[in-house]
Amino acid sequence: MTHGMTSATNQPASLGELIAAAKRLEWCTSLGCTTCGALPFRKALRGIPREDVISGLRLMSSQYLQTNLELFRLIIWEISAFGYGGELKAPLADTPAAVQLQAFIDWRHRQDEKRHAYAASQTPEAIAESRAKRKADAIQATALHRERKAASQDAISAVTSTLAQTPTSKIIALVNATEFDVSYSAIGGIVYKRLVDYYRVEPILPADLETLTRLAATHGGHWKKLLDRFTLPSSFSTMLNQNGDPSSRID
């Protein structure tokens, strides 16, 4: 028979004996255990008179409580009326256990507040309100981008209109002489569509070729694609030089 246990049941006679037995037997003392629920410890604790348990709690030092907080919380949960331990404040007054008890009560209140807040957030009305808020926040967050995009589209439309009114042979000269409200990269495709068929039958002027070369080097994209139509294979260029043919007409 283990010292301090009753001979019939091996039930610990005091809280100190129970804690020693739990340590020796490696019982779980975690309040939130979802595997065993700390049932062996709880069952043994219920066999000790409540007044004796409180007396044992009063003997616990601050250092012990700091290193055995889960054990303390489990004991409070088990011996209190509603799990909070509010009625134990007076019996544990002026002890380190009273300090930890208050901290435990405060923690339980915070947990309850979180649960209530979550439950309130899951009603159909709250979910709809949350979705509406997220949508409004997203609209507000992208407002500047959308405004810039709209302004850019308006500027591109204006450039498109200007180019449409310009003779095809004058487009590159116009681009060279005009500072548009949009980037050259943005209008490269528009110019390409206007000129690609034109230069199949018409030669490109040297000044226009110089401008196109500069635009292709700086902005790439459709400017380079258009310039590539004037870049002849080296063997063909050699043949032209030998024949003295200066034509830059696109075939």
244: region left, alpha or beta (phi > 0 left; psi from -120 to 50 alpha): left
Which domain covers residue 187, as residue numbers? Answer: 145-243
| Residue 251 pLDDT | 40
Mean per-residue pLDDT over the chain, rounded: 83
Q: Are residues 149 and 231 in the same domain?
A: yes
Residue 132 domain-assigned (yes or no): no
Q: Are residues 33 and 101 in the same domain?
A: yes
Which of 228, 241, 173 is CA-nearest to residue 196? Answer: 228
| Residue 72 pLDDT | 92
| pLDDT exceeds cutoff 80 at 122 | yes
| Residue 241 pLDDT | 47
Q: What distance in Å separates the CA atoms of residue 234 and residue 202, rounded to the nearest whole number?
A: 22
pLDDT in tens, 214-247: 999 988 889 999 998 876 444 434 443 444 444 4
Banded pLDDT at 144 (limits 50, 70, 90):
low
Residue 251 domain-assigned (yes or no): no
226 phi/psi in degrees, rounded to 5: -70, -40
Residue 32 domain-assigned (yes or no): yes
Q: Are residues 50 and 117 in the same domain?
A: yes
Residue 249 domain-assigned (yes or no): no
Banded pLDDT at 84 (limits 50, 70, 90):
confident
Angle, alpha carbons 120-124-128 (nearest 5°): 100
Residue 187 domain-assigned (yes or no): yes
Banded pLDDT at 159 (limits 50, 70, 90):
confident
Partner residues linked to 107 by β-bridges: none
Q: What distance in Å separates the CA atoms of residue 160 and residue 173, rounded to the nearest whole number?
A: 15
Q: Are residues 117 and 19 in the same domain?
A: yes
Q: Are residues 36 and 96 in the same domain?
A: yes
Q: Are residues 21 and 66 in the same domain?
A: yes
Q: Are residues 116 and 164 in the same domain?
A: no
Q: What distance in Å separates the CA atoms of residue 98 and residue 86, rounded to the nearest whole number?
A: 10
Per DSSP, helices labelled H in the chain are 15-25, 39-45, 50-58, 62-67, 69-79, 96-121, 124-141, 143-164, 171-177, 184-195, 198-201, 206-219, 221-228, 234-243
What is the model's pTM?
0.45
Q: Are residues 34 and 112 in the same domain?
A: yes
107 phi/psi in degrees, rounded to 5: -65, -45
Banded pLDDT at 9 (limits 50, 70, 90):
low
| Domain count along the chain | 2
Residue 2 domain-assigned (yes or no): no
| Residue 230 pLDDT | 74
Residue 177 domain-assigned (yes or no): yes
Q: Are residues 150 and 223 in the same domain?
A: yes
Q: What distance in Å separates the CA atoms of residue 165 and residue 24, rounded to the nearest whole number?
A: 95
Q: What distance in Å separates the CA atoms of residue 85 and residue 73, rounded to the nearest whole number?
A: 9
| pLDDT exceeds cutoff 50 at 169 | yes
Residue 163 domain-assigned (yes or no): yes
Q: Are residues 113 and 149 in the same domain?
A: no
